[in-house]
């Protein structure tokens, strides 16, 4: 395949040199005329000296230390005698250097998430360091896994996790999920299914590694030698031995920090990285929305993506309003599609991985060729929307980083601070949440805020307790959830399944009346027990149908006798089909309009 080669550190182009030469020639001539006639050799010497001085002092900086577009990958067009295009081999062609404002390239968009992929030594870490230093105003948490890593030379405070791992028992559910990320349970057998709940059980009475070991040993002693529970407990006991660290509890630092996971075994690196990612995200989530206020940078992101239990995807999706997630990995395909879609920039260095090339081919037929032909310190953005017949190639001509001394944090812990803290009881909000959902459907963050306000609590405790309660109630079949739009954002709305006390009905009715009031339309609500439409206005009526009642004859009867235009509002596509069928069978198409809840904006156009 023919392609133009381009140097790792390109020089000024011929046009640049010509312009510079003519400028210096003219300046030298004018100077010699203005001052006094000078011999020709003096003029040439001045010209050469000026050219050399300019190049060494200024010229090389024109292209050094920046990102610029240096080439394109494309299919050259060649036309046959009849004007048809003849298929050509792809090639890479150099272009006149186009400087890129890379800080603007990142910040001038709503989604500032980026990930960098490429083989080892291709320039990923250099580019990531350059990008990090472009945003000194943003607070950063960096996850570093290798000793002597580039991120340890930034001069940021470093927390060595092997010595100060924090307190993993403060959030037991995070402990469980981090364990599942470290040891993905691929099997669907009885033993595998038992592990999460058994781990939760032994954690209830534990506040330290020592007490956790004791709880497991007691549980093993109670079990028969060949039981499924015993096998699951033995699995947990064996794996936890690789995760235990003899370190004192310490708070997670605020502001800029590099979390150094080097010195841990591979399992412990994954476990504590997931645990600290959850703690970091919860601290960011509690803050006020402020784009680029905080950036999470994760090297070797593939460690956390072996299990769907990771919070990585959730962080990538939700962090946009409060900052950004940047990550690096060797293979483009390390990020599953559903995670990769949360990143607006896919900065791709050289790769020859078959999995990567297949994934890239699904985006653009030219990308696999581009990825295999990229030289070191050259990359493209595989997420650019403008990728059609030509793919821009950028050069990271970055040099001269100033390595700063490594500054390790020594958290202030009193000599009397216990290495092992007493366990905190896990809050059980099931009854309380169920009571709250009797009145109206709600979503997790709203429920947690209401409980926190009532109890005068803060932090993540109410959120985690509410999440556990909702999960348990749903597993027991007492509540259900739907993804609905609330205030222009999609939330998981939870509601009681009992049709006699439908919080979902009240919620939908409340949202519809909000729209009517906003639009200045007077309305009347049907009183409990009245055989009338749920909401009545002068020009039309509205029926709120949640689908919780199996019998829909009552609303059918009202629709048959309706004298005004009637809107029937349903929450889901399933109910939309169900009521559509009922309306068709009763031949009620005239003046009857079926509207999905998420399409309330189209109500009475």
471 φ, ψ to 5°? -65, -45
According to the per-residue pLDDT averaged within each range, which of 337-351, 482-496, 543-557 is highest?
337-351
pLDDT > 70: percent of the chain: 75
Amino acid 249: pLDDT: 60
pLDDT for residue 132 is more than 80: yes
CB neighbourhood size of 291 (10 A)? 17
- Output the CA–CA distances (angstroms, integers) from residue 137 to 257, 291, 295, in the order listed: 14, 12, 10
From CA 216, how far away is CA 50, in angstroms rounded?
79
Give the tokens for residue 268.
Answer: 């412990």
Q: What residues have CB less than 8 Å from 519, skipping those under 6 apart?
A: none
Question: Looking at residue 426, what DSSP letter applies?
Answer: P
Q: Are 300 and 264 in contact (CB under 8 A)?
A: no
| Residue carrying the six token digits 């010699």 | 32
Look at 485 and 359; give whichever has higher pLDDT: 359
Amino acid 555: pLDDT: 66
Look at 414 and 543; give whichever has higher pLDDT: 543
Look at 605 and 543; give whichever has higher pLDDT: 543
Look at 21 and 544; give whichever has higher pLDDT: 544
Provide the pairing of β-strand 378-381 with 157-160.
unpaired
Question: Looking at residue 427, what DSSP letter applies?
Answer: P
Look at 248 and 576; give whichever has higher pLDDT: 576
Each residue's pLDDT tens digit, 441-450: 888 888 888 8
Mean predicted lDDT score pLDDT of the chain: 79
Amino acid 59: pLDDT: 45
Q: Are 492 and 483 in contact (CB under 8 A)?
A: yes
Each residue's pLDDT tens digit, 204-258: 878 888 889 888 888 888 877 667 888 888 889 999 989 988 666 666 667 889 9
CA-nearest of 400, 402, 401, 382 to 392 is 382
Amino acid 419: pLDDT: 47
Burial class, 186, CB count within 10 angstroms (exposed 0-12 / middle 13-18 / buried 19+): exposed
pTM summary value: 0.60
According to the per-residue pLDDT averaged within each range, which of 77-81, 337-341, 420-424 is highest?
337-341
Instruction: Assign a CATH topology to domain 97-160+252-397.
Output: Rossmann fold (3.40.50)
Longest CA span, the chain:
111
Amino acid 325: pLDDT: 95
From CA 20, how far away is CA 242, in angstroms rounded?
64
545 φ, ψ to 5°? -120, 115
pLDDT for residue 508 is more than 80: yes
Give the start-to-end residue ranges of the domains of the chain. Answer: 1-64, 97-160+252-397, 172-240, 430-496, 499-602
Q: Is 53 helix (H, G, I), strand (E, B) or coil?
A: helix
Amino acid 417: pLDDT: 47
Mean pLDDT check: name the lowest of 96-110, 114-128, 327-341, 457-471: 457-471
pLDDT band at 63 (very low <50, low <70, confident <90, very high): very low
pLDDT for residue 112 is more than 90: yes
Hey, which residues does 323 pair with through a beta bridge? Answer: 294
Give the tokens for residue 361.
Answer: 């081919």
pLDDT band at 5 (very low <50, low <70, confident <90, very high): very low
To the nearest 10°, the Cα dihedral for 98, 103, 104, 110? 140
From CA 566, how far away is CA 588, in angstroms rounded?
11
Buried b / exposed e along 53-85 (16+ C-beta atoms within 10 A): eebeeebeebbeebbbbbbbbbbeeeeeeeeee
Each residue's pLDDT tens digit, 257-269: 999 999 899 999 9
Give the tokens for residue 162.
Answer: 């092997």
Amino acid 6: pLDDT: 31
**Overall average pLDDT of the 404-409 stretch:** 84
pLDDT band at 467 (very low <50, low <70, confident <90, very high): confident
pLDDT band at 522 (very low <50, low <70, confident <90, very high): very high
Buried b / exposed e along 518-528 (16+ C-beta atoms within 10 A): eeeeebeebee
From CA 468, how far away is CA 170, in angstroms rounded?
15
Each residue's pLDDT tens digit, 23-41: 666 666 666 555 555 565 5
Domains 430-496 and 499-602 share a fold: no
pLDDT for residue 109 is more than 50: yes
Amino acid 248: pLDDT: 60
Q: Are 9 and 92 in contact (CB under 8 A)?
A: no
Amino acid 1: pLDDT: 33
Q: Is 54 helix (H, G, I), strand (E, B) or coil?
A: helix
pLDDT band at 434 (very low <50, low <70, confident <90, very high): confident
Q: Are 368 and 361 in contact (CB under 8 A)?
A: yes
Instruction: Assign a CATH topology to domain 430-496.
Output: Arc Repressor Mutant, subunit A (1.10.10)
pLDDT for residue 457 is more than 80: no
Amino acid 252: pLDDT: 67
pLDDT > 90: percent of the chain: 21
According to the per-residue pLDDT averaged within each range, which of 90-94, 132-136, 504-508 is highest?
132-136
Q: Is 87 helix (H, G, I), strand (E, B) or coil?
A: coil
Each residue's pLDDT tens digit, 64-80: 458 888 888 887 766 66
Look at 25 and 504; give whichever has higher pLDDT: 504
| Residue carrying the six token digits 């109630």 | 473
pLDDT for residue 423 is more than 50: no
Amino acid 436: pLDDT: 86
Amino acid 257: pLDDT: 92
Burial class, 182, CB count within 10 angstroms (exposed 0-12 / middle 13-18 / buried 19+): buried
pLDDT band at 332 (very low <50, low <70, confident <90, very high): very high
CATH number of 499-602: 3.10.640.10
Amino acid 598: pLDDT: 79
From CA 461, how far away is CA 89, in angstroms rounded?
59
pLDDT for residue 359 is more than 50: yes
């Amino acid at each position: 395949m023919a392609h133009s080669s381009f140097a790792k550190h390109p020089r000024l182009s011929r046009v640049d040199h010509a312009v510079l030469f003519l400028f210096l020639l003219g300046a030298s001539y004018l100077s010699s005329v203005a001052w006094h006639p000078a011999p020709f050799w003096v003029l040439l010497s001045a010209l050469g000296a000026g050219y050399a001085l300019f190049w060494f002092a200024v010229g090389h900086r024109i292209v050094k230390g920046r990102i610029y577009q240096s080439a394109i990958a494309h299919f050259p067009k060649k036309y046959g005698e009849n004007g048809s295009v003849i298929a050509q081999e792809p090639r890479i062609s150099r272009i006149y250097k186009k400087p890129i404002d890379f800080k603007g390239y990142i910040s001038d968009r709503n989604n500032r998430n980026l990930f960098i992929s490429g083989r080892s030594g291709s320039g990923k870490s250099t580019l990531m360091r350059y990008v990090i230093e472009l945003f000194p105003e943003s607070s950063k948490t960096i996850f570093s896994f290798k000793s002597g890593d580039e991120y340890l030379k930034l001069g940021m405070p470093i927390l060595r996790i092997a010595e100060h791992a924090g307190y993993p028992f403060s959030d037991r559910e995070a402990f469980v999920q981090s364990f599942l990320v470290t040891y993905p349970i691929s099997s669907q057998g009885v033993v595998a299914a038992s592990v999460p709940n058994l781990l939760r059980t032994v954690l209830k009475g534990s506040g330290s590694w020592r007490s956790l070991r004791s709880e497991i040993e007691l549980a093993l002693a109670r079990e028969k030698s060949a039981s499924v529970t015993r096998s699951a407990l033995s699995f947990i006991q064996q794996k936890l031995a690789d995760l235990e660290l003899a370190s004192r509890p310490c708070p997670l630092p605020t502001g800029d920090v590099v979390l150094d996971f080097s010195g841990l075994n591979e399992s412990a690196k994954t476990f504590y990285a997931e645990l600290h990612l959850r703690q970091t995200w919860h601290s960011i989530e509690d803050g006020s929305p402020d784009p680029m206020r905080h950036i999470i940078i994760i090297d070797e992101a593939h460690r956390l993506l072996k299990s769907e239990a990771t919070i990585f995807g959730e962080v990538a999706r939700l962090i946009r309003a409060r900052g950004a997630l940047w990550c690096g990995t060797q293979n483009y395909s390390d990020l599953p599609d559903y995670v990769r879609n949360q990143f607006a920039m896919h900065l791709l260095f050289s790769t020859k991985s078959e999995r990567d090339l297949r994934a890239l081919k699904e985006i653009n037929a030219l990308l696999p060729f581009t990825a295999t032909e990229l030289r070191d310190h050259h990359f493209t953005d595989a997420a650019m929307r403008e990728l059609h017949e030509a793919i821009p190639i950028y050069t990271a001509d970055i040099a001269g980083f100033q390595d700063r001394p490594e500054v390790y944090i020594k958290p202030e812990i009193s000599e009397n601070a216990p290495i092992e803290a007493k366990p905190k009881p896990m809050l059980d909000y099931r009854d309380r949440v169920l009571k709250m959902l009797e009145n109206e459907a709600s979503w997790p963050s709203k429920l947690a805020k209401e409980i926190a306000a009532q109890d005068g609590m803060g932090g993540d405790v109410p959120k985690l307790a509410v999440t556990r309660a909702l999960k348990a109630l749903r597993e027991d079949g007492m509540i259900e959830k739907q993804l609905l739009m609330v205030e222009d954002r999609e939330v998981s709305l939870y509601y009681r399944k009992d049709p006699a006390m439908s919080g979902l009905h009240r919620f939908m009715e409340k949202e519809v009346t909000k729209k009517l009031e906003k639009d200045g339309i007077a309305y009347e609500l049907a009183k409990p027990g009245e055989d009338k439409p749920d909401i009545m206005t002068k020009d039309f009526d509205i029926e709120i149908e949640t689908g919780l009642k199996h019998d829909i004859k009552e609303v059918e009867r009202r629709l048959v006798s309706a004298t005004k235009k009637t809107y029937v509002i349903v929450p889901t596509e399933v109910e939309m089909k169900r009521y559509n069928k009922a309306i068709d069978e009763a031949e009620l198409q005239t003046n009857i309009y079926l509207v999905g809840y998420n399409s309330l904006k189209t109500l009475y156009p």
